[in-house]
C-alpha cells in the first residue's frame, strides 16, 4: 500500500455557539434551537480531512505486508475513531495518536481480503465528519501456508478432554506465536476460563482452569486464514470443530488402599478392589485422561523393553482394556491377580481388576473421562508426550505456556517425558 490518496473537501458552514455562565446563578445562555448546535448536525463528508495509504485505482490491490495508515489533513481537524474490518468480520487492531492526527494498524492485514474502513473526524469547531473507505489486499508473491488441524474428532467426550491444535509449520518466535494463538478461538457454553499452552513449535493444547462443565458445548475456530504470521509465512485453512461433554466422570485409584472409586457428577457410583504397580513398576500418580477403549489387547513384555525369558516377562491376552497412556498403562481385566486385588500391588503399572468389574468399568467410561491415581510411590504423570497429563500442571504453570499470558509462550516439560514400561 504505497499510494497516498487525498480526498476533495466539500463546502460547509458551521454555526458557532456562545456559552455564558452567570455567577451566583444557574442560568446558561445556549444556542437558540438544537439544530444550530454543531453536535446536532448530520456528519459531513470528511473526505477533505483525511488521507490513507490504500489504492484507489480500479483493480489495484494493497500490499498486506504493509500497515494501514489514516492521516488527518490540515491543522483544523482531527480523527476521533477508526474501525477497519474485513468481509469475514475480522477487525484490525489499531492505535490513534493523542492529537488525533494519525491512526495506524497494529495487527496484520489479511491477504486476499476486502476491507471496509470507517473514519470519524471533527473539525476545529467540533462538527463531526464521517468517511467510509474500501480496498482489497493482494496475495504475497512468495509464501508458506500454516494450516491448523484441531482435535479431537467431533463428538461427545468426558470433561477432561483437552482441545489440540496441530500446525503444519513450526512457529518458535514469541511474537508469531501470539498472532497464531490470538486467532485460535475456543468458545464454551456455558463459558469457562481457559488458555492455550504451547507443547512445542507445532502443537498447542487448550484446557479450562478447571474441568469442562458437564453437558457443555465447545466450539473451536481459526481466524488465521490470509493473516501474515512472519516472513513469507501466512495463515491457511482450518476446519472448525465442535465437541460436547457428557457427565463428569472421575475414577480415583488409591494405590495404598487398593481401590478404584468411580464418581459421576460428584456422587460415588461404585468402589472396586484393584491392584496397581509393584515396586520398580509403580503406577504413575496424577490425573490421566482416557485415550480409548480396546476390548482385547495382547500384552507382551518385549514391546516395552522387558526381555523375554526374564523374571518379569509376560505374554497375556487382556480384555476390557481402557487406555490412559500411550506407553501402555491401562485399567483392565486381570483375572490372574484376583487374589491380590484389594490387598496388594502386583502389576507392572496398570490398574488390574476382576473381569466382571473391568467389563463394568469399560462400559461406564469414555474418551475424555478422568482417571486419577493417588498414594502411589510412582512419579507423577507427565504433562505431555505420553497421553493427556495436562491437568497435572496447576493453572499458574499452565498459563506460562501461553504466548499471550505467559510471556515465553512455551514449555520444556515435554523434554522430561519418559515412556517407561507400565503394562499388565
pLDDT digits (tens, 9 = 90+) for 180-216: 999 999 999 999 999 999 999 999 999 999 999 999 9
Domain boundary among 94, 110, 136: 136
**Side-chain half-sphere of 114: how many Cα atoms within 13 Å?**
4
Domain co-membership, 21 together with 130 = yes
Q: Does residue 422 sit within a domain?
A: no
Residue 118 confidence (pLDDT):
93
The whole-number average pLDDT for the span 276-285 is 94
Domain co-membership, 40 together with 154 = no
Annotated catalytic residue, options 205, 258, 332, 348: 332
350 is catalytic: yes
Domain co-membership, 232 together with 333 = no
Domain co-membership, 152 together with 238 = yes
Domain boundary among 214, 245, 276: 245
Query: Grid coordinates 468399568 are at which residue?
Result: 361
- Write the pLDDT tens digit of every residue in 160-182: 999 999 999 999 999 999 999 99
Could you tell me which residue, 365 or 231, shows the higher pLDDT? 365
User: What range defines the domain where residue 42 resides?
Assistant: 5-136
Cβ contacts of 79 within 8 Å, gap of 6 or more: 50, 70, 72, 96, 100, 101, 102, 103, 119, 120, 121
Domain co-membership, 185 together with 94 = no
Residue 332 CB neighbours (<10 A): 26
- Write the pLDDT tens digit of every residue in 381-410: 999 999 999 999 999 999 999 999 875 444
Q: Does residue 376 sit within a domain?
A: yes
* Number of domains within the chain: 3
Q: Does residue 94 sit within a domain?
A: yes
Phi, psi for 106 (deg, rounded to 5): -120, -5
Per-residue pLDDT band at 56 (split at 50, 70, 90): low
31 is catalytic: no
Residue 1 has pLDDT above 90, yes or no: no
Residue 26 has pLDDT above 70, yes or no: no
pTM of the predicted model, to two decimals?
0.71
What mean pLDDT, rounded, does the chain reach?
Answer: 84
Could you tell me which residue, 305 or 262, shows the higher pLDDT? 262
Residue 36 has pLDDT above 80, yes or no: no
- Write the pLDDT tens digit of every residue in 102-156: 999 988 888 889 999 999 988 888 888 888 988 898 877 667 899 999 999 999 9
Domain co-membership, 114 together with 189 = no
Domain boundary among 136, 170, 188: 136
H, E, C per residue of the chain: CCCCEECCCCCCCCCCCCCEECCCCCCEECCCCHHHCHHHCCCEEHHHHEEECCCCCCCCCECCCCCCEEEECCCCEEEEEEEEEECCCCECCEEECCCCCEEEECCCCECCCEEEEEEEEEECCCCEEEEEEEEEECCCCCCEEEEEEEECCCEEECCCCCEEEEECCCCCCHHHHHHHHHHEEEEEECCCCEEEEEEECCEEEEEECCCCCCCCEEEEEECCCCEEEECCEEEEEECCEEEEECCCEEEEEECCCCEEEEEECCEEEEEEECECECCCCCCCEEEEECCEEEEEEEEEHHHHCCCCCCCCCCEEEEEEEEECCCCCCEEEECHHHCCCCCCCCCECCCEEECHHHHHHHHHHCCCCCEEEEECCCCCECCCCCCCCCHHHCCHHHHHCCCCCCCCCCCCCHHHHCCCCCCCC
Domain co-membership, 263 together with 392 = yes
Domain co-membership, 404 together with 307 = yes
Domain co-membership, 239 together with 253 = no
Domain co-membership, 194 together with 279 = no
Domain co-membership, 253 together with 238 = no
Domain co-membership, 33 together with 109 = yes
Q: What is the rounded distance in angstroms from the CA atom of residue 320 to the CA atom of residue 314?
A: 18
Q: Does residue 423 sit within a domain?
A: no
The whole-number average pLDDT for the span 19-28 is 29
Q: What is the CATH number of the domain that holds 259?
A: 2.40.440.10
Amino acid at each position: 500500500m504505497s499510494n497516498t490518496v487525498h480526498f476533495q473537501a466539500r463546502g460547509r458552514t458551521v454555526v458557532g455557539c456562545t456559552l455564558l455562565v452567570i455567577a451566583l446563578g444557574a442560568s446558561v445562555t445556549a444556542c437558540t434551537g438544537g439544530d444550530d448546535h454543531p453536535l446536532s448536525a448530520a456528519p459531513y463528508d470528511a473526505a477533505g480531512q483525511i488521507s490513507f495509504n490504500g489504492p484507489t485505482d480500479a483493480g489495484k490491490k494493497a500490499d498486506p505486508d504493509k500497515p494501514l495508515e489514516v492521516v488527518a489533513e490540515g491543522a483544523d481537524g482531527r480523527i476521533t475513531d477508526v474501525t477497519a474490518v474485513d468481509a469475514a468480520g475480522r477487525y484490525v487492531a489499531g492505535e490513534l495518536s493523542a492529537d488525533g492526527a494519525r491512526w495506524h494498524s497494529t495487527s496484520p492485514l489479511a491477504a486476499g481480503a476486502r476491507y471496509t474502513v470507517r473514519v470519524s473526524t471533527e473539525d476545529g469547531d467540533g462538527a463531526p465528519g464521517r468517511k467510509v473507505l474500501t480496498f482489497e489486499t493482494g496475495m504475497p508473491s512468495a509464501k508458506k501456508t500454516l494450516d491448523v488441524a484441531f482435535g479431537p474428532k467431533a463428538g461427545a467426550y468426558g470433561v477432561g478432554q483437552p482441545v489440540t491444535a496441530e500446525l503444519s509449520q513450526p512457529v518458535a518466535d514469541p511474537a508469531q506465536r501470539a498472532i497464531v494463538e490470538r486467532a485460535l478461538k475456543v468458545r464454551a457454553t456455558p463459558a469457562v476460563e481457559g488458555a492455550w499452552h504451547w507443547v512445542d513449535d507445532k502443537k498447542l493444547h487448550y484446557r479450562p482452569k478447571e474441568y469442562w462443565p458437564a453437558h457443555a458445548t465447545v466450539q473451536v475456530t481459526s481466524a488465521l486464514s490470509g493473516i501474515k504470521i512472519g516472513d513469507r509465512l501466512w495463515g491457511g485453512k482450518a476446519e472448525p470443530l465442535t465437541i460436547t461433554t457428557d457427565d463428569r466422570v472421575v475414577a480415583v485409584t488409591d494405590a495404598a488402599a487398593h481401590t478404584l472409586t468411580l464418581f459421576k457428577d460428584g456422587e460415588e457410583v461404585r468402589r472396586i478392589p484393584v491392584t496397581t504397580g509393584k515396586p520398580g513398576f509403580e503406577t504413575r500418580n496424577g490425573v490421566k485422561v482416557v485415550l480409548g477403549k480396546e476390548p482385547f489387547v495382547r500384552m507382551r513384555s518385549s514391546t516395552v523393553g522387558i526381555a523375554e525369558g526374564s523374571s518379569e516377562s509376560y505374554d497375556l491376552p487382556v480384555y476390557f482394556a481402557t487406555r490412559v497412556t500411550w506407553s501402555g498403562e491401562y485399567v483392565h481385566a486381570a483375572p490372574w491377580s484376583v487374589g491380590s486385588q484389594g490387598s496388594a500391588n502386583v502389576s507392572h503399572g496398570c490398574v488390574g481388576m476382576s473381569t466382571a468389574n473391568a467389563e463394568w468399568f469399560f462400559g461406564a467410561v469414555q474418551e475424555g473421562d478422568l482417571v486419577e491415581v493417588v498414594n502411589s510411590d510412582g512419579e507423577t504423570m507427565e504433562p505431555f508426550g505420553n497421553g493427556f497429563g495436562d491437568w497435572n500442571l496447576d493453572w499458574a504453570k499452565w498459563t506460562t505456556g501461553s504466548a499471550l499470558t505467559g510471556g515465553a509462550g512455551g514449555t520444556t516439560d515435554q523434554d522430561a517425558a519418559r515412556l517407561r514400561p507400565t503394562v499388565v
